[in-house]
Amino acid sequence: MAAIPDFCGVKDIIGTDLGRATELLRTGEVVAIPTETVYGLAANAFDEAAVLKIFQAKQRPAFDPLIVHVHSLEQVEAVVSFSDLERMGMRKEAEALMEKFWPGPLTLVLPKADRVPDLVTSGLDTVAVRMPAHPMALELLRALDFPLAAPSANPFGYVSPTTSQHVADQLGDKIPYILDGGPCTVGVESTIIGWERDAEQWVLYRPGGTPISDIEAVIGTVGQARKTIIPASPGTLESHYAPRKPVFIGDVRSLLKEHFGKRIAVISFTQNHEAWRTVVLSRNGNIAEAARHLFAALRSLDSSEADVILADIFPQEGLGAAINDRLRRASAKRN
Ligand code: AMP
Ligand code: MG
């Protein structure tokens, strides 16, 4: 593998200069970009050498495919094989989902067009695609004549970034530029669904920013992806999105008793707890607000003096399913 270029010492790594971002992307560099879900680390999806830089900067294993970001329904045709979709009889439903949820936090896993390099899809014959609902991301995409492959802009396995500073904290010395679009308004990654040929149904690979009930209102029941040894969708790895400190989820009152004597930090939905520190994600019980603040809370407690992080189980409705999924995986033991 080629060495990662050293961008240390370059000032103003964070900025709002769309021209600079476009120039870097056109010359095969990576740029961190804002989206409504989390910050992404983007490169030209059609340029394998550029995409390789994403994997290097993130230390991401090559078996973990990327999401391709597009600005229009026309651009999807460069990425997805519509003839295959047609053959599978899925074109109508896929288009209905795009019409209804894009731009927005829904990623569709669909048959890939030949032009998409294997590195983007980890050799799969499907590609994950979405249209982000962030004005700056869309403006950037429109200025380019290629789509952007972009996973979350964090080291592999760690908590995703929801501000430009989060990106700078961890990847600042590995990438040339971070486009600042303010704090992410959704705050958890996109929901990922795909059509499974064997099961002949749509399945959920990852709960996220689009509630599953909204999706089912358009295409009917969405099944659960089967668990395999090599995950069909690596974002579903048990331990992922994980801070370095131990995280426990459950009934915080009983967890507090179990961990008595330790320096305890708590992530709570609405209420304060008698702990060393409590971060309340939404005082008035707004689940979308809680999702927006989740990753910043995990990051700040991870870099605090706490011994352990305890977290509530959130109501499963709306974005609650995504919050619980991320907390559960933040608490899973790493091998
Ligand atoms: P990230 O952008 O870091 O949130 O990760 C993207 C995630 O999308 C991956 O970890 C996978 O779980 C999922 N994904 C991407 N491409 C595919 C695909 N072709 N099939 C199934 N899942 C995919
Ligand atoms: Mg990620």
Single-letter amino acid code for the residue at 10:
V
Q: What is the pLDDT of residues 132-165, one digit of tens each?
A: 999 999 999 999 999 999 999 999 989 999 999 9
What confidence category does residue 326 fall into, taking pLDDT thresholds of 50, 70 and 90? very high
Kindly give the distance from the C-alpha atom of residue 93 to the centroid of ligand 2, in angstroms, as a whole number.
26
* Whole-number pLDDT of residue 242: 84
Strand ordering across the sheet containing 308-311: 247-249, 308-311, 264-268, 277-280
- Cα–chain center distance at 106: 11
For the chain, what percent of residues have pLDDT higher than 90?
Answer: 87
Supply angle C-alpha 2, 20, 18, rounded to 5: 125
Kindly give the distance from the C-alpha atom of residue 291 to the centroid of ligand 2, in angstroms, as a whole number.
16
**DSSP structure string for 106-140:** EEEEEEBPTTS-HHHHTT-SEEEEE----HHHHHH
For residues 198-203, give the mean pLDDT: 90
As its CATH architecture, domain 14-190 has: Alpha-Beta Complex (3.90)
* Whole-number pLDDT of residue 171: 97
Query: 247-331 — its CATH code?
Result: 3.40.50.11030
Q: Which residues have CB under 6 Å of ligand 1?
A: 64-65, 67, 109, 121, 124, 126-128, 151-152, 189, 192, 194, 205-206, 232-236
Residue from 54, 197, 205 to probe ligand 1 pocket by mutation (most atoms less than 8 Å from CB): 205
Average pLDDT, the chain: 93
8 A C-beta contact, residue 324 and residue 312: no
What confidence category does residue 197 fall into, taking pLDDT thresholds of 50, 70 and 90? confident
Distances (CA, A) of 327 to 96, 159, 255, 297, 322: 31, 10, 15, 11, 9
Q: Considering the entire predicted model, what is its pTM?
A: 0.92
For residues 101-119, give the mean pLDDT: 97
Q: Give the DSSP letter of residue 234.
A: G
* Whole-number pLDDT of residue 9: 47
**Which part of the chain has CATH 3.90.870.10?**
14-190
Q: What is the pLDDT of residues 64-88, one digit of tens each?
A: 999 999 999 999 999 999 999 999 9
**DSSP structure string for 35-52:** -SSS-EEEEETT-HHHHH
**Which part of the chain has CATH 3.40.50.11030?**
247-331
Contacts of 111 (CB under 8 A, 6+ apart): 80, 81, 84, 85, 88, 125, 126, 127
What confidence category does residue 275 fall into, taking pLDDT thresholds of 50, 70 and 90? very high
For the chain, what percent of residues have pLDDT higher than 70?
Answer: 92
Distance CA 183, CA 301 (A): 18
In 3-state terms, what secondary structure has residue 227?
coil
CA-proximal residue: ligand 1, atom 7 (nearest): 235
